[in-house]
């Protein structure tokens, strides 16, 4: 199996789906001539031409709306946001247009569009460029929210998102673009709505998604050295949430830590904990603990930024608490 970066896995998914279906096109800032702000769309303009790889002005509300409108009449747009921070300008189109169209038209008009780009913090980009918004979109019925953590998942989930008949919020990780991994060639589809056990273990469940999968895996590695076997459950899709896999793991380990990059208040982890306390209450040997980003705007200073982020040490401390270890 070939080894690819997360970036190239996404590129391969785009290329394959654009080849497969001529209704699929890509639009966004710098996707064409510049080859993509993060080079995810490298080579696509040359291969598919300017009608299918469309450079837009910096006008997020406008081009998100163009994508929704094109999807309403049968095209399958992939709208790239340079980052999800900038997509705040387009929230009206995502929430009021994309998510609502099928329902308020009584099922007549769907919006088969993918909105994608990197979310969360990178390194020292400060408050306005370091935000994890998945819980905002996951709150909205009508949207699906997908967040792959590995190159193989990135390819398989992006292909599924493009073929999906509903609007999909596809949040990539800026810090993941250079991560390498084995990626199946050709028709590799991962269904939306399925979590994946990234590491098996019987002592504690670590639930995570996107960049925090790496954090959880590192923590699990260290814990193993200490004789604690953590199971790492990568949600992959935030909405619809794979509660079955979450509950199965908690039923096995009886202890759980939920790790996410975003802020704690009304975060994704709050939803996960709600499911666990309701449907696995009798399975729990300890309260579920959450590890999240600090509840502050992201600081620029390197040390402060590090302190604000979820990291393996914080996960290990949380595991120790649910295991009632010193």
Catalytic residues: 60, 129
Query: How many Å apart are CA 166 and CA 93, to the nearest integer?
Result: 14
Interacting residue with other proteins among 39, 88, 142, 264 (CB under 8 A): 142
Instruction: State which residue, 105 or 178, has the beta carbon closest to other proteins.
Output: 105
DSSP per-residue letters across 224-272? HHTT--EEEEE--EEETT-HHHHHHHHHHHS-EEEE-SS-STT-HHHHH
Asked if residues 26 and 55 have their Cβ atoms less than 8 Å apart, the reply is no
Instruction: State which residue, 98 or 208, has the beta carbon closest to other proteins.
Output: 98
Residue 236 interacting with other proteins (CB under 8 A): no
Q: Count CB neighbours of 185 within 10 A.
A: 11
Phi and psi based region of residue 173 (left: phi greater than 0; alpha: psi -120 to 50; beta: remaining): beta
The interface region with other proteins, picked from 36-44, 120-128, 139-147, 260-268 by CB under 8 A, is 139-147
Q: How far is the CB of 288 from other proteins (least distance, A)?
A: 28
- The mark string for 41-80 relative to other proteins (x by CB under 8 A, - otherwise) is ----------x----xx-x-xxxxxxxxxxxxxxx-x---
For the chain, the helix, strand and coil percentages under 3-state DSSP, each to the nearest 5: 40, 20, 40
3-state secondary structure of 281: helix
Q: How far is the CB of 133 from other proteins (least distance, A)?
A: 20
# residues near other proteins by CB under 8 A: 42
Residue 181's DSSP bridge partners are 4
Interaction residues for other proteins, span 152-211 (CB under 8 A): 163-166
Instruction: State which residue, 28 or 312, has the beta carbon closest to other proteins.
Output: 28
Residues in contact with other proteins by the rule CB under 8 A? 25, 51, 56-57, 59, 61-75, 77, 92-93, 96-97, 101-110, 141-142, 144, 163-166
């Amino acid at each position: 199996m070939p080894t690819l970066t997360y970036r190239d896995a996404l590129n391969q998914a785009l290329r394959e789906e654009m080849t497969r279906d001529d209704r699929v096109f890509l639009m966004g800032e710098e996707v064409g001539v510049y080859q993509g702000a993060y080079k995810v769309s490298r080579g696509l303009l040359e291969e598919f031409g300017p009608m299918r790889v469309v450079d837009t002005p910096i006008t997020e509300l406008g081009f998100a709306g163009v994508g929704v409108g094109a999807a309403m009449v049968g095209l399958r747009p992939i709208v790239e946001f340079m980052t999800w921070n900038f997509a705040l300008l387009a929230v009206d189109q995502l929430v009021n247009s994309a998510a609502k169209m099928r329902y308020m038209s009584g099922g007549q008009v769907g919006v088969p569009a993918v909105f994608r780009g990197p979310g969360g913090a990178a390194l020292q980009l400060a408050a306005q460029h370091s935000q994890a918004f998945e819980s905002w979109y996951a709150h909205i019925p009508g949207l699906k929210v997908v967040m792959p953590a590995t190159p193989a998942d990135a390819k398989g989930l992006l292909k599924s998102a493009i073929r999906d008949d509903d609007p999909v919020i596809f949040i990539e990780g800026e810090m993941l673009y250079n991560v390498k991994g084995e990626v199946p060639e050709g028709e590799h589809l991962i269904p939306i709505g399925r979590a994946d056990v990234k590491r098996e273990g019987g002592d504690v469940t670590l639930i995570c998604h996107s960049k925090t999968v790496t954090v959880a895996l590192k923590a699990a590695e260290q814990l193993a050295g200490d004789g604690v076997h953590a199971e790492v459950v990568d949600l992959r899709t935030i909405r619809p949430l794979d509660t079955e896999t979450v509950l199965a793991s908690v039923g096995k380990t009886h202890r759980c830590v939920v790790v996410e990059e975003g802020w704690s208040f009304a975060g994704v982890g709050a939803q996960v904990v709600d499911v666990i306390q309701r449907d696995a209450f009798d399975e729990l040997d300890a309260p579920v603990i959450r590890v999240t980003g600090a509840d502050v705007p992201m600081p620029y200073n390197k040390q402060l930024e590090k302190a604000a982020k979820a990291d393996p040490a914080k996960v290990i401390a949380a595991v120790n608490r649910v295991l009632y270890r010193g």
